[in-house]
Amino acid sequence: MTHEQIAQHISSAREAVARMLKSFSEDGLVELRRGAITLRDKNRLNCLK
């Protein structure tokens, strides 16, 4: 799923999705690789709701 597809799914802008994923990656919550997003800390992500 691309950043654009995620953005459309949550009614947001692609740029906002990219910024949030980068922030999550820097915080160790996700791992970003070309074509893949791996959840590293699902419990902490759930606390962000």
CATH number of domain containing 8: 1.10.10.10
Domain that holds residue 9: 3-47
Please state the separation of Cα 34 from the chain's center in Å: 13
> Domains in the chain: how many in total?
1
pTM for this prediction: 0.82
Whether the per-residue pLDDT at 40 is higher than 90: the answer is yes
Please write the tens of the pLDDT for every residue from 3-36. Answer: 899 999 999 999 999 999 999 999 999 999 988 8
pLDDT of residue 1: 81
What are the strands, taking DSSP E only, across the chain? 30-33, 36-39
